[in-house]
Amino acid sequence: MRKNIKKHNFMSSTEARDAWLMMAPALIVLLVIAVYPIIRTFWLSMHEMMLTDPSSGYPYIGFKNYFNILKDKKAIEAILFTLKFTATTVSFELIIGYAAALIMNKAFRGKGLVRAAILIPWAIPTSVSALMWKFIYNDQYGLFNDVLYRLGVIHSYKAWLSTSGGSFMALVITDVWKTAPYMALLILAGLQMISEDLYEAAKIDGAGVIKRFIYITLPIAKNTVIVALLFRTLDAFRVFDLISVMTGGANRTESIAVYSYKNLMKFLDFGYGSALAVLIFIVVFIISLIYMRFLGNKLTDMEG
């Protein structure tokens, strides 16, 4: 009996050691490319590090950079714009993505071609799509002006990216066009888990299209929709390349990521720029934590 116990303990310890050895390369890579940059950025945020003044010695200043964010009007405007952009784009993407997912979930001729076509915008790199839409919004030869002019909506070409309202509209349209297919793809995965037998039973009971959608589609696909919203919210809050290419943050369209980048790379204020980057990380972490702690528990209770 004791021999069996010893043999079992030896095998368990050997398996655990082998498991750690096999995971070691991945853990080392994770530490180098993920954990270390986060720790390093937090360390930089605790120092006054202006590369234009190396004689200062980069002194330790604690949380002063974080307190300066509260006093910085541009930082507050960037945060408010980011929240506004996130709420607007994610709302439109949810509506359009849900509608597209419902269409793709139906059985019709050419369904595979439609699915492939819908996913094309998502497959295009963000910087490329942003540059493409920047040409579309051009005030001299842009397609957007040409279409509106031919339809009689406008009487002369307009520089949409030269005003705050026009720039915001252009950014929202571009982001929704780019990422609504991603939302549709995630929601479609949830819709395909719904058995057709449920819809057939509901039809027999006299439930119409609206009732079937409310009492069958929405509840069952709810988990997938929440996951899609989480991914898109986190991604939209960290928006950088879209704004950097299309407006550069002009006309009050500067996101917190763009503002952090400018402080780091343009003004060479690594301390303050790092504090802004840490702020983005904290907000993203809090959003994820809220989802995991509250929404995750509710979904588990529903499934149980």
Break the chain into its structural domains and give their ranges.
71-303
**DSSP summary character for residue 269:** B
User: How far is CA 30 from its chain centroid?
Assistant: 21
Contact 278, 264 (CB under 8 A): no
Residue ranges in the chain assigned as alpha helix (H): 2-30, 36-45, 64-71, 73-104, 111-118, 120-123, 126-136, 143-151, 164-191, 196-204, 209-212, 218-237, 241-246, 256-261, 270-290, 296-303
The answer on pLDDT for 198 being more than 80 is no
Cβ-in-10-Å burial (0-12, 13-18, 19+) of 59 comes to: exposed
pTM: 0.84
CATH number listed for the domain at residues 71-303: 1.10.3720.10
Mean pLDDT within 88-95: 94
The answer on pLDDT for 234 being more than 70 is yes
Measured from the Cβ of residue 113, the count of other Cβ atoms closer than 10 Å reads 9
Q: pLDDT-derived band of residue 2, with 50, 70 and 90 as boundaries?
A: low
Residue 108: C-alpha distances to residues 104, 105, 121, 169, 209 (Å): 9, 9, 22, 34, 18
Choose the weakest-confidence range: 38-47, 108-117, 161-170, 226-235. 108-117
The answer on pLDDT for 299 being more than 60 is no
Q: What is d(CA 169, CA 102) in angstroms, rounded to the nearest whole number?
A: 26
Mean pLDDT within 243-259: 93
Per-residue pLDDT, 95: 93
